[in-house]
A and B are shown apart, each in its own frame.
Chain A
């Protein structure tokens, strides 16, 4: 019960904090729509099939989750440490996973709102053709993608807990390659095999591929089962790994005296 209350409170903080000031509309809706517009116009100029505009819009919406996972989930413990909140969390009798879960759920709510806005704006502007024959499969694919992504965010959060700014650089390094490898603005299956192998380490790759095929190309579970299985494996592996990593890093931090040490 205590952990549920803590998770809910952290979720509430994230939603309240994330939406209190309307400036987010510029940074998280208008700018992403401008970015994906460039890709859509390029595909139109190259006379690519109309589905490509849909691929870009879905990619743009889903990349919002990756940015949220990277900067507002993985990096959050770093910021909490700098502001003195981390000390309060670790002195409280609450599970650290409950705090992370609250952050993740809050991030999911906020980012779903933003991703939906990007999707709606992009669809209306570029008249994207959707072909959803199995809405449940679409929902399952989206659900598994988000859970796998935020489980990865929880894992990264423990790295940030200990390695602070070093982990910050890692996150910077991960941002663009993941945009590229996961095929945010093009289907990843067109990449060379070696790049596809690397891309298979990222849950977003399978999520994007599956969601595009289900909602743009009108495919069903029989064609996209591989993506579903891959995402389920990510969820099953990443959650326990994140829990283990968090415990390990907390103990290491207490041993080395770096748990609440700032500006490392």
Chain B
């Protein structure tokens, strides 16, 4: 099943490579990965999504915790959580334009650029909705797609903080 793992990691050169390397070394696959420095900038927050069984995800989080630069790890899928993904798309202006706009409307579809030939739009929503939207637009109608990968945090009072 799909797992969303949140990681706090020291903002040091090579730290990201250790996390990515570990997935490969241990035979797990990364579906999406997002990383950015937060708060004082001394550490970053990563969101990694992967497909793994209960046992595998336990191993992944344990192995992740062993990386010296990793400060904290949490499997968000263990409890209730928010999960969002942001996309940018580019497509040719055509008779499909209004259809695409309609599909993206429920996921905060926004036009960022529109000229005689192309349209650039952004959208934001749970990755499952994003997935569905991209499918109904159809890959033949798109020139480019950029996905941020999932971002996630715990629902309610629970936090992942230093």
Q: Do A and B bind each other?
A: no
A residues near B (Cβ < 8 Å) are none
